[in-house]
Amino acid sequence: MDIEGVAFDLDGTLYPNYRLNIKLIPFLLKELRLTAAFGKARNIIRKEQKNDSSPLADFYQYQASLTAKIFGSPIDQVKEKLDRLIYKGWQPFFKKIKLYKKTAETLDALKKAGYKLGLLSDFPPETKLEYLGISGFWDAVLCSECCGTLKPHPLPFRELAAAMKLPPEKIIYIGNSRRYDVTGANKAGMKTAWIKSPLFPGSGCKKPLPDFTFSSYRQLYDYMLN
């Protein structure tokens, strides 16, 4: 493939999702209603944006309004809770999260081989990358929410390509969700790679098919560099 840039999702792609989920169990049990309402609100946003509609002018305000309606509390209280408990409250867990084996080595080797590296996450990624110890590798880092969207809307993928100063067709995007990562990157014109979950290797929608499927970063290393 004629590739000049390699872009990644973060959660579930650079580390296994279960490592974070285990640490979140006490929080999820305590804030079950809030997290359930938050998840439903994000599903509504994805359904509304299914046909690649215009991005939201104020994503966080709209997300909070949907969550508040489902949760049954004033919007200002819910927005404050989401920011304090989820957006900021989950970040310290990443100080103790371990990456997939050979992740940092692969990023370093890709960088030295001349590839531009990008990252696109649905949640704000900057602090997470610092805690994971991999903040220095990237040519571009982007959050889809800051674009007024959620994956698989193609807009944030196109914005990432622009930030990487590459056409989408010169980028391969790597993610753990075929429904969100592979679909969105495919719509934007990127090549795609899918990392299979070690616990649920068959998870995800059946289409579109990624250009490459792997289950370890050693395989990705060999695919891109050998």
Tokens describing residue 164: 């990487």
- Amino acid of residue 39: G
92 preceded by cis ω (within 30°)? no
One-character DSSP codes across 56-123: PTTHHHHHHHHHHHHHTS-HHHHHHHIIIIIITTSGGGGGGPPPPTTHHHHHHHHHHTT-EEEEEESS
User: Are 58 and 113 within one domain?
Assistant: no
Among 61, 93, 125, where does a domain finish? 93
Q: What is the pLDDT of residue 197?
A: 81
Find the CATH number of the domain harbouring 211. Answer: 3.40.50.1000
Domain boundaries, position 51: 19-93
Among 60, 93, 126, where does a domain finish? 93
Residue 177: which of 205, 149, 146 has the closest Cα? Answer: 205
Q: What is the pTM of this model?
A: 0.94
User: Are 141 and 122 within one domain?
Assistant: yes
User: Are 82 and 113 within one domain?
Assistant: no
Q: What is the pLDDT of residue 200?
A: 62
User: Are 85 and 67 within one domain?
Assistant: yes
User: Are 199 and 217 within one domain?
Assistant: yes
User: Are 108 and 83 within one domain?
Assistant: no
Question: Average of pLDDT values for 95-112?
Answer: 97
Nearest 10 degrees: CA dihedral of 41, 45, 47, 51? 180
User: Are 85 and 29 within one domain?
Assistant: yes
Summarised one tens digit per residue, pLDDT across range 9-65 is 999 999 999 999 999 999 999 999 999 999 999 999 999 998 778 999 999 999 999
Cβ neighbours of residue 218 closer than 8 Å, sequence gap 6 or more: 101, 102
In this prediction, residue 205 has a pLDDT band, given cuts at 50, 70 and 90, of low
User: Are 155 and 138 within one domain?
Assistant: yes
Is residue 115 within 8 A of residue 138, CB to CB? The reply is: no
Number of domains in the chain: 2
Q: What is the pLDDT of residue 167?
A: 98
User: Are 31 and 12 within one domain?
Assistant: no
Instruction: State the first-to-last Cα distance of the chain, in angstroms, to the nearest integer.
Output: 13
User: Are 106 and 183 within one domain?
Assistant: yes
Among 68, 93, 118, where does a domain finish? 93
Q: What is the pLDDT of residue 208?
A: 81
Summarised one tens digit per residue, pLDDT across range 114-123 is 999 999 999 9
User: Are 58 and 104 within one domain?
Assistant: no
User: Are 140 and 219 within one domain?
Assistant: yes
